[in-house]
Structure 1
Amino acid sequence: MNFKYLSRIACLSALSLMTFSCSEDDTPSSDPSNTSDYRPYHLVIGSSPTGESETYIQGTTVEELNDPNKTFTFNGYGREVPSTRTARLYTSDDGETVYNLNYGGGDIAKYDYISGQNYDLVLTTDIQAVMGTAYPRWTKIDDNYAMLHNVTTENIYENPDEETSPYVRTKATVTLARVDLNTMSVLENTSFEFPYNEDNSGDGIHTFRIDAPVIANGKLYYGVAKRFYDALTGENGTMVYDNVETLVVDYPSLENETTIVSTLAQGSTNGYRTPVAHKDELGDTYQLITSGDASIMKISNGAYDTAYGKFDIKSLLGHNAEANTGWFYVGNGIGYVPVLNTDLGDSASSNWYIVRVDVYNKTAVKMNIPIDLWLRQYQWASVIDGKLYMALASLGGVGNVYIFDPSSTSADGYTTGATLQTGTTDASYIGLF
């Protein structure tokens, strides 16, 4: 599906009714470059929920986001951001710069925002040689730096030259690289073997992915996902977690790798394309469990907080639930979590909703959002004036900018702003950056 192609069809169809000009540079009815008291923000849409996906972006103002009479569309409008699979985007703190990881393309890029759908490509850096793959993941750490990360695995046998040699374990090698966002150049980079658990290694349990790091007290805390390799079949089997684990390295040196573990919860902690761990105003980190039951753990002073235990979100919702993407923190212990009702379908189904959580008091409220949501690829929401702004629309349908008020404990504790159109049956909004 090509948005530009749809735009051309629209132009040709309209010629029988009236004479007008139509091009890829046409702008919406209101001027996106009008004056604003705020930084610019960016709406992003993905054209397909599976496989290769075109990604488009357009800039806007806070005033437009709040305007219920404003309609945003990507039908024939928006700058395409190159991506072999859905682009992984971040913005600078002032909104004037957009950063993209071309996942599958093996490069990172930097764009200056001009206005509307106009973005200038400033720098592009190939990172395949450093990372050893075209498919690393990345996370913006602050306004100056980002982290690239990847894990490769190798099954180890007593004698690699004999097909029937006994299986020993699966080796996981972590590659990390710090990126200077000003120059888009790679600074520190390192590779090391993941500090594996010897008790589990012979059973085929191993780390296969890390993601969504957060900095606390001079260290990076990486969420971890594991797999089970079945040596009898030579295939990956069903992974059954008996704990949660986090990789910890010094920052920015990327040295002294170790892990912290807790058996108070079970599941992965790496997420998908969304922030997973957030440091609060007191310096503690709250980490979402992103497989298994929806829950949150607390990390304090470099370890899982046993006194806090597990914040069991699922038990408060009345049905089976996963939060397998990530979550958004507003402040003072309040955040919003995209949650999947697994009683109604898997992550490919439109059975998602937004839950307001209070990590201090361990409360959860399902927000009354009257549209079907598919949020598996949702990447980002923005905190503006102490409220959380999310671009939410049904897959291939319409929606709104939702403005969540963290001071309200009501399921209706939000307002709606501008209308969002997707324009095609397989498109979805993936963030407001």
Structure 2
Amino acid sequence: MNKNLLKTVLFGSAIVLGTMVSCNKNDGPDDTGGGASGPDNSPRKYITLTAAFPDAETNTAGNGGSLAYALTLEEALDASKEVNIWTNGYGLRSQRTARVQGSVNGNFLYNIQYTGVNGGIFNKYRVSGGKAFEDTNEELNVSGVLGTSPRWVKAAEGIGVGVNISGASAPIDPVKAEAGTQTYEYTRGTASIALINLDDPRVPNTTEFEFPLTQAEKEAGYSVGRLDVPVIRGNKIFIGCAVSKADPNKLVKTVNSETQAVTWSWAGDAPNIKGTATLVVDYPSLANPKLIWSTQSTYGNNSYRTMTQYIGTDGHIYQSTGVNTTSYPHILRIDKNTNDYDNTYLFDLSQALGTGNLTGIRAWRYIKDGIGIVLYTETGVAGGYVALVDLNAKTATKLTTENQTDGGFSGLSASQNGGTALQGSLSQFQNIGLAGDYVYLPLTPNGKDGNLYLVNWKTKTIAKGIKLKGQSGSFYLGAY
């Protein structure tokens, strides 16, 4: 049965624009009105691996689409076996890399298709082993509020949150710029948020509002160009922000050497950014948007394709820094009592590892009792590395994998790779699997074979599991 969900909502201080969300939804997985597929209440049977391959048009690594394959726990452990996801995997719906989320016991996958004619469509899959994934036919179209390239995650078990920002600008009139009369005028842009019920797929609430930079922050040249990685704690949602700063008193003139065309831009002022920022709204009303600022770091925290915020055993939120494919060494803390940054706390991975190089947290996951696992790279050092971190003691234990120095993890420049740049597989990593005492890490350098690694986080040991067959321009993205 098809339904249309038309939601118009108005909340508190948010300037809500009456968002309409069109949802085409079947009532159940068998399309006979048998009810929603429901939550994941069954014991874990599988670890699902996902991988991405290049697109045909530009041969860009990771942009062709995504495949999934589910291993039993016994298969995952067996280093004598091999899986070839490229010939045996299940194609998840998405024109480009699927943004996949998984349920607590790995029995469901969730995805919102990214770009293309079906961008913004949500699908839910039941995991049945191997390449057997059953589409539950509980489809939603959230493009009306989130666009066709939405940023979204499972923000709490059974609850997805999608976010978007659009319309931010600081226009320049070339005539005024040339005359020296151009003034800095910044439009904050419109933030959009949609809640998604993952157990009974529907959209219970949406909102839009002017992004809540203060007037002083606007005038100082601050802007936010991307939102991502929302997490729910209690009655609040915390959303990562890509913060930029321009110098509102300095224009830059660029003249094309071939065409002599003139372009103008506001000079960047990144060294003077006052801190890392998080957007906070009430849950589930989505009211009262505001920004909180960390004084411990100035890096962005909107991530790229991996979750970066987790609720610790102690109730605090632990948040790593990173923007797009650039990652940084900091983990910050948002206090459970104040819903604001704890500006006495900073975990620095570079310091914890004792390296003079700048490390970048490419993906991480909070496990329990202050212990987390990190996938990271180091500036000027080829390869991708694994460490267990203790966020309370602020220490790190480096674990060794067989091919950790391979440049296919960190990426190679054209000059390093025979004239063609190589995308690093860790820059697009999406999810670290966790089941019981074990962490599951599918690690493959771009275009090469690798392994599923199993980390016992209690004993701090790492072992090779099943072998992962590689393919040119392709790599594994996550475990669920």
TM-score w.r.t. structure 2 length? 0.75
**How does 1:128-143 map onto structure 2 within 5 Å?**
128-131=143-146, 133-143=147-157
Are residues 1:416 and 2:464 paired? yes
Deviates more, 1:375-384 or 1:350-359: 350-359
- Give, in whole Å, the separation in 2 of the partners of 1:161 and 1:145: 50
1:80 corresponds, among 91, 114, 117, to 91
* 3-state SS of 1:351 partner: strand
Deviates more, 1:110-119 or 1:293-302: 110-119
**How does 1:13-412 map onto structure 2 within 5 Å?**
38-48=44-54, 50=61, 52-104=63-115, 105-121=119-135, 122-131=137-146, 133-155=147-169, 166-229=183-246, 232-233=251-252, 234-235=264-265, 238=268, 239-240=270-271, 241-290=273-322, 293-300=328-335, 301=337, 302-307=339-344, 309-317=345-353, 318-323=355-360, 325-344=362-381, 351-371=383-403, 372=406, 373=409, 374-408=425-459
Q: CA deviation at 1:244?
A: 1.1
Q: Percent identity?
A: 29
How many residues are aligned here? Answer: 387
Aligned-pair Cα RMSD in Å: 2.6
Query: CA offsets per residue over residues 10-58 of structure 1, 9 Å max, x none?
Result: xxxxxxxxxxxxxxxxxxxxxxxxxx97422211110136473221111
Q: Which amino acid aligns with 1:403?
A: L
Are residues 1:426 and 2:437 paired? no
Change (3 A) 1:156 1:420: closer
Q: Which amino acid aligns with 2:112?
A: L
Query: CA offsets per residue over residues 73-132 of structure 1, 9 Å max, x none?
Result: 12321111122221001122232322111111221111223332122222322211122x
Q: Which amino acid aligns with 2:314?
A: L
Query: CA offsets per residue over residues 267-318 of structure 1, 9 Å max, x none?
Result: 11111111111111121111112256401111112121133x2112122331
Q: CA deviation at 1:139?
A: 0.8
Change (3 A) 1:66 1:158: closer
Q: Which amino acid aligns with 2:209?
A: F
Change (3 A) 1:172 1:160: farther
Change (3 A) 1:125 1:236: farther
Change (3 A) 1:351 1:128: same
* 3-state SS of 1:75 partner: helix
- Give, in whole Å, the separation in 1 of the partners of 2:234 and 2:308: 18
Change (3 A) 1:325 1:172: farther
Instruction: List gaps (5 residues or longer) in structure 2.
Output: 1-41, 55-59, 253-263, 410-424
- Give, in whole Å, the separation in 2 of the partners of 1:237 and 1:110: 44
Aligned to 1:5: none
TM-score w.r.t. structure 1 length? 0.82
Q: CA deviation at 1:161?
A: 12
Q: Which amino acid aligns with 2:294?
A: S
Q: Which amino acid aligns with 1:44?
A: T
- Give, in whole Å, the separation in 2 of the partners of 1:327 and 1:62: 22
* 3-state SS of 1:375 partner: helix
Aligned to 1:19: none
* 3-state SS of 2:101 partner: strand
* 3-state SS of 1:340 partner: strand
Q: CA deviation at 1:159?
A: 9.9
* 3-state SS of 2:217 partner: helix
